[in-house]
A and B are shown apart, each in its own frame.
Chain A
Amino acid sequence: MKFSLKSLVVIAVTALPFAAQAHKAFLLPSTTVLTESDHKITVDAAVSNDLFYFNHVPMRLDDLQITAPDGSSVAPENVATGAFRSVFDVPLAQPGTYRIASVSNGVSASWTEGGKPRRWRGSEATLKTEVPAKAKDLRVTQVANRVETFVTVGKPSLGALATTSVGIELVPVTHPNDLYVGEAATFKLLLDGKPTAGLKVTVIPGATRYRDQVNDITTTTDADGAFTVTWPQAGMYWLHASLAAEREGKGDEDDNDNGDKGKAGIANRRSAKPAPVSAERPRRVGYTATFEVLP
């Protein structure tokens, strides 16, 4: 009895990072296609179950990176975080495409202290000083997560879309602000700068509140890391791909983006072999983007 209670706690603790991931993070821009007489947009940032509604928690904006068409960094304005969402404005001083992203690259740790679960997030450098090395049930995971969206003033450009070779990144074949209903769009996904085959991609149209089915579109990247989506209707779309390193190489297993796979899924992940991505520790990488498809 005592033993099973303990293992339950372990499951609960290890489930936490996955539970957090189960919800859908998104950046929702007020407009994606603008003219040069537009000077600003506003963006909502939240994590929720339904798209695109603010019904769970606001997104933390610590990792916000806004890139202007010329590659320079833009500071957000009027930043605020409420009960369900964060909000910020983006000044648009140049024509071209802006990339608005929340990029977290770091380490997350969970352990038990005095019988209570503890969680921590930070960098590899602060891990040593802030997390007791001999903590009970210590589990350290490397995290590379990117949540982003794109807006374009005038003609679409590619300057802001340069890749960094960290985590999963999107390379446009079709420009992300040139998406139209009924047309096919192709993108490539890179993992640490290299095209990744066999990565499962989930695409969900917004306005989920007003329909009974999720209507998700799932596809898998080909040998070049490319995948194609034909947009069934106009509107905002949420795109997600992730890789829990423990499962790498096991192909198109259940993704963890819906979070309701239950404890069996978690136990499955726990039992899987550590991945070669990081020799030292398991790694979680995720990519999420919001796209607008026009009629």
Chain B
Amino acid sequence: MRTSLSIVLCGLASTPALAADLDLKLQIPQIDVVEYHRPYVAVWLERADQSVAANLAVWYDLKKRDHEGEKYLTDLRQWWRRSGRELAMPVDGISGPTRVVGEQELRFKSGTAPLGDLPAGQYQLVIEAAREAGGRELVKIPLQWPVQKATVLEAQGSSELGKISLAITP
């Protein structure tokens, strides 16, 4: 009786404990072209109906005069449609400057902005990259939230993105 009660309590305690860390590593590939610009990159979590559950990062040219770097945010087509066009840039905690070629790391904590509290469910992590005078690529990683044990999910871009890995630690 006592044991089973403690199991029940344990179960109760673990269900709302959605706290988890998200550790995202994404590779910006070296691209051998005459005119290279660092890609604009957007990272967000979408629900099954493609609505945005959390905007996680937007890397773009923040330094240009008169917000001119924002002009090309529409090249992140999917992000622009899903949430970009509703936002006033820059957004604290989400906007950041473009990043160099190589592995880039982003960490998010549930309960804390920009990830916030995520209700249990099926999601997709979406990474979109668009490069001035270059191409565009969108990579999605499906995930079930929350996770019961530490999970590593991987995906591979083919042009504007390289290897992507998402480590979720409950």
Contacts and interface: CB of A to CB of B under 8 A. Distances in A.
Interface of A: 33-38, 152, 154-156, 178, 180, 294-295
A35 B77 contact: no
Contacts of A295: 77
A33 B67 contact: no
Contacts of A155: 85-86
B73 interface: yes
B77 A34 contact: no
Given A294-B77, A295-B77, A35 B70 contact: yes
Interface of B: 66-71, 73-74, 77, 80-81, 85-86, 88-89
Given A154-B85, A155-B85, A155-B86, A33 B70 contact: no
Given A294-B77, A295-B77, A37 B85 contact: no
B81 A35 contact: no
A170 to B, nearest CB: 21
A155 B74 CA distance: 11
A135 B70 CA distance: 61
Given A155-B85, A155-B86, A37 B66 contact: yes
Contact of B68 (A37, A152, A156, A294): A37
B71 A178 contact: no
Nearest to A39: B66
A37 B74 contact: no
A35 B73 contact: yes
A273 B86 CA distance: 52
B74 A33 contact: yes
Contacts of B68: 37
Nearest to A155: B85
Contacts of A294: 77, 81
B139 to A, nearest CB: 16
A181 to B, nearest CB: 11
A116 B113 CA distance: 77
Contacts of B86: 154-155
A156 B81 CA distance: 10
A37 B77 contact: no
Contacts of A33: 74, 80, 85
A38 B70 CA distance: 9
Contacts of B89: 35
Given A155-B85, A155-B86, A37 B80 contact: no
A295 to B, nearest CB: 7
Chain B CB within 10 Å — which of A35, A154, A295 has the most? A35
A34 B74 contact: yes
Chain A CB within 10 Å — which of B67, B70, B71, B88 has the most? B71
21 contacts: A33-B80, A33-B85, A34-B71, A34-B74, A35-B73, A35-B89, A36-B70, A36-B88, A37-B66, A37-B67, A37-B68, A37-B70, A37-B71, A38-B71, A152-B85, A154-B85, A154-B86, A155-B85, A155-B86, A294-B77, A294-B81
A98 B68 CA distance: 21
